[in-house]
Amino acid sequence: MSAPEKPQARGKKDPRVAPARDASSAEDPERVPEEWDFRQVTKSQLEEAIYYEYARSCDWVLEVFKQWHEKRFPASKSAHLSKWSGWTISKLLERPGDAEEPPKEVLKWYSDVMPDEFGTHGLHIILDICQLFPRPFLRVASQVTAQLRRPKYQERLACWLETGHWDRLRVRLFNSLRGLGDASVADEDVGGNENAEEKATSLRRIVVDLQFPKPKIKNDLSRLVDELHDSKFEKFKPEIGKAAAPPWHRLKELAAYRLVTQFGVPKGKLRPFVQAWKQKTTVVDEFFVLPDYGPGGCNDAINSARQYIETLFPKL
């Protein structure tokens, strides 16, 4: 478990924590631009920022993490465990980098109390991006190491050396065109049941023996591929046009969604607000993520953002 930042002193409000999303008590959006001005997100951070920030706008995801963060390590009479009694998950995650490593019993408890949704709904990806969720992405971006970028079509794996169950999951995750959830389907083939594997996943074991000349390998591999029964599987298709472009519009739509629903900016005044904000700041809107929508475009952006939240994080 990597060591997160040092926690705030008890009783003090951490300004990096995402504000409550209640339009009736809207905060001045200019005081928290990290909630909607995503111009400082870099190309290498785009996929992580989209997934992370949409999760921050999903109430049930926030509630899952809140309940998990509040769990406390049970009291213990053991000398080496007593000092950890009462520690919350939140306190563990916010330990400073030079702090003492928790004993194995605490780490096991940390793993045991993880919500089921981490596995069933892919929320572990949020933790992989940054342990300090739900702090705004732009406040913790320097700590982000996860790589969620969907590979370009020509980068997708066609053949690989597969040594076990986890390699199958890794390859399926890498190849998936539909996002991040497909990798869970191969669980039932761990025991080596080939029939179960046939039903559970499109992956097949292909072993390449490099002692043979390449022309024979290509010839034999081609014949093997032709013999595979693949009619029941949906085929990957290369993205073209807008579909192939980086999805910067997701952050633009989320920014509009937050300014209107979280900060109470009227839809008809969104564009003037954004234009005024743009004049006050020096960050270049290189990827056009500032939500300078008119009223009609604003409605479409809000509906699209709301739908994408539900797509990424379906209601429990």
Q: Two tokens at 51?
A: 């997934």
Q: What is the pLDDT of residue 3?
A: 43
- Contact partners, residue 178, CB within 8 Å, separation at least 6: none
For residue range 154-194, what is the model confidence (pLDDT) as tens digits? 455 445 545 555 455 555 555 553 444 343 333 333 344 44
- pLDDT bracket for residue 152 (50, 70, 90): low
| Tens digit of each residue's pLDDT (9 = 90 or more) over 47-86 | 899 999 999 999 999 999 999 999 999 988 788 888 899 9
Provide the 8-state DSSP code for 88.
Answer: B
| Calpha distance 259→247 (Å, rounded) | 20
- Examine the pLDDT at 14 and tell me if it is beyond 50: no
Given this model, what pLDDT does residue 200 score? Answer: 53
3-state secondary structure of 202: coil
7, 91 contact by CB (below 8 A): yes
Using a 10 angstrom Cβ sphere, with 0-12 exposed, 13-18 middle and 19 or more buried, the burial of residue 25 is exposed
CB 305 within 8 A of CB 253: yes
Q: Phi and psi of 197, rounded to 5°?
A: -65, -40
Give 235's contacts (C-beta < 8 A, 6+ positions apart).
none
Strands (DSSP E) along the chain, which ranges?
none
Give the confidence band of 16 by pLDDT, cuts at 50, 70, 90: very low
Residue 1's nearest CA partner among 80, 101, 73 is 101
Output the CA–CA distances (angstroms, integers) from residue 315 to 12, 16, 65, 117, 163, in the order listed. Answer: 33, 26, 15, 11, 36
DSSP label at residue 78: S
Residue type, 257: Y
β partners of residue 253: none
Residues 21, 23, 29, 35, CA torsion sign:
positive
pLDDT at site 182: 41
Which residues contact residue 158 at a Cβ distance below 8 angstroms, ignoring those fewer than 6 apart? none
Distance CA 5, CA 126 (A): 17
Q: What are the residues whose beta carbons fall under 8 Å from the beta carbon of 120, sequence distance 6 or more?
A: 184
Q: What is the pTM of this model?
A: 0.63
Mean pLDDT for all residues in the chain: 78
Nearest to 59 by CA among 261, 280, 196: 261
Q: Over the stretch 185-234, which tens digit does the pLDDT of each residue have?
A: 333 333 444 444 445 567 667 777 666 677 777 777 777 778 777 788 87
